């Protein structure tokens, strides 16, 4: 929902993602896809990416950030 209480369009969601700090470019791109393809399952892609992020995070060693570089 937007500040006005009306549902946001995919384009408005995209612009909101880009206005964040740092910008959420990947999520903005998913909203562009949703705008152009009514059957695009944005929530499924986000869910798969969250799962992948958890798997990668679990596989990484627990070290200070300076040592991971």
* Domain extent listing, the chain: 11-38
**Among residues 10, 2, 6, 8, which one has the least CA distance to residue 41?**
10
Give the pLDDT confidence of 24-49 residue by residue, as tens digits: 999 999 999 999 998 999 999 999 99
In the prediction, which pLDDT does 6 show? Answer: 74
Q: What is the pTM of this model?
A: 0.70
Rounded to a whole number of angstroms, the CA Rg of the chain reads: 16
In the prediction, which pLDDT does 63 show? Answer: 85
In the prediction, which pLDDT does 3 show? Answer: 60
Query: Are the CB atoms for 63 and 52 separated by under 8 Å?
Result: no
Judged by DSSP in three states, 37 sits in: coil
pLDDT band at 68 (very low <50, low <70, confident <90, very high): confident
Please compute the mean of the pLDDT values over residues 46-61 and round it to a whole number.
Answer: 93
């Amino acid at each position: 929902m937007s500040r006005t209480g009306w549902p946001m369009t995919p384009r408005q969601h995209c612009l909101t993602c880009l206005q964040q700090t740092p910008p959420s470019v990947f999520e903005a791109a998913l909203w562009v896809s949703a705008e152009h393809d009514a059957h695009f399952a944005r929530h499924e892609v986000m869910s798969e990416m969250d799962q992948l992020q958890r798997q990668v995070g679990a596989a990484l060693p627990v070290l200070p950030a300076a040592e991971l570089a």
